[in-house]
Amino acid sequence: MPVDHFDLVGVGIGPFNLSLAALAEPLRENHSLEPLFLERQPEFAWHRGMMLDGATLQVPFLADLVSLTDPTSRFSVLNWLRETDRLYSFYFAENLFLQRREYEAYCQWVASQLPYCRFGTTVTRVRRSLGEDGGFDVEYTAPSGPVTVHAANVVLGIGTEPVLPFDVPELALHSADYLAQRERLRTLDDVTVIGSGQSGAEIVLDLVRDGAPGQRVRWLTRSTAFEPMEYSKLGLEHFTPEYTRYFHGLREDVRADLLRTQGRLHKAISFETIAELHAELHMRSFDSLYGGTLGPAGDPGVTLIPGVAVTGGNPGGNGRRIELTCLHERQKREFSVVTDAVVFATGYRERCPTFLDADLALALGDADEQYRVAPGLYVQNAEQRTHGVGAPDLGLGAHRAAVILNAVTGRTLYDLPRRAAHTAFDPAVAAERDPGIRIEVS
């Protein structure tokens, strides 16, 4: 039975592979590339567990699927706003940041126009093809049954999975599931949130605003402080193609050391969320002083403790509560916390593609500058250790997709910026612009 051939098969349709699919559309139109994208979910869905009312992206709207590579694309956010008759409203709003639910709707709008994006299809195996043309055999299950196609190139964009330090069924959950459990959590007497990134801050703020009267909200983090995101103009230049090239050229041990120091660039809290939470705490302390029911005089009913490692947890109170074992790392002081529920806002890790044959799975360690881990096999958002903090950032998604398309076709389909930053991370780059800098030749 003949097997359909595709120049490129994308596994997973999150924002990054959807960006690749959108930028590939002109090539499909002129018959120079035949793509296929497969996604097991029935529709495009993005972080639905944290789709809180009013929650926005942390990057401006230009970090859409295409604009920073091809601002003329019909798949831009601005064109979506025009097509949905909201462009003037957006203009008058004077807000650079889309709400998360807007962003998901925009991505669904793009996906609906790309017939080669097939949802409800589960990839079961990717292996090297034994045929003369090489490439890959991709097996997947569609509503009509099992299918095998041949791919010259495969791009993995399967996203990440939640990190859950330990599990106590029905009492502990990850922030990825917060919205589904929100109504139950709001009725409890005591809730503990662990992790001080943006998700943790938003959950604490949501519970403080809408939790049951008298509810105790507790926020613990291993970090030494509840820190704001580094969002200065020059700090943002770490999310440019120029910094990505610089980072990729460093030794592996240097890259690892550097990543450990850069948490505030991508794991901290927006200034706006910190300010909103502080305002709530300020007024709750006032209310408790002047006849409120929150707790002891001056107590806002919220406990914030940084520098704490939560080392374990066990059911207590007839299985209806959980007792956490904690260590204050600076004081080396152990203590326990008894609470009704724990929300882990402890981030995500790269998802293991179990459908890859063993020889391909072994190749996933290091991506080259074109995001290639083996001949014809590319990754998206699985290369932070080789390409830096910008790997999961939406603002670099269109650039990475363009790099991959250029590599797959062997042509410069999209011009890529060489000087996207004012900062010269590499002295050799600075020397190209500054005649006073002389590079010593060793």
Domains of the chain: 5-159+351-409 (3.50.50.60), 167-229+268-344 (3.50.50.60)
Paired sense of beta strands 348-350 and 160-162, if any: antiparallel
E strands in 329-370: 333-339, 341-344, 348-350
Sign of the torsion formed by the C-alpha atoms of 12, 256, 407 and 60? positive
Output the pLDDT for position 318: 74
How confident is residue 2, by pLDDT bands cut at 50, 70 and 90?
A: low
Confidence at 293, pLDDT banded by 50, 70, 90: low
pLDDT at 269: 96
| Cβ-based neighbours of 300, under 8 Å, separated by 6 or more | 280, 281, 284, 285, 288, 294
| pLDDT above 70 for 1 | no
pLDDT of residue 442: 67
CA distances from 24 to 44, 73, 75, 409, 414 (A): 18, 11, 11, 11, 11
**CA–CA gap between residue 204 and residue 209 (Å, rounded):** 9
CB-based contacts of 39: which residues, under 8 Å, 6+ apart?
Answer: 12, 13, 117, 118, 119, 120, 121
Integer CA distances (angstroms), 22 to 82, 272, 274, in order: 18, 32, 36
First to last CA, the chain: 60
For the segment 111-145, what is each residue's pLDDT rounded down to a tens digit?
999 999 999 999 999 999 987 788 999 999 999 99
pTM recorded for the entire structure: 0.94
| pLDDT (tens digit per residue) in 380-399 | 999 999 999 999 999 999 99
- Lowest mean pLDDT across 18-32, 153-167, 277-291, 360-374: 277-291
* Residues 194-218: tens digit of each pLDDT: 999 999 999 999 999 999 988 999 9
Is residue 44 pLDDT above 70, yes or no?
Answer: yes
pLDDT value at 292 more than 80: no
390: its two tokens: 């910008």
pLDDT tens digits along 51-101: 999 999 999 999 999 999 999 999 999 999 999 999 999 999 999 999 999
Q: Can you tell me which residue has the tokens 């049954």?
A: 145
Contacts of 154 (CB under 8 A, 6+ apart): 8, 9, 10, 11, 126, 136, 138, 376, 377, 378
The mean pLDDT of the chain is 94
**Sign (positive/negative) of CA torsion 372, 378, 384, 385?**
negative
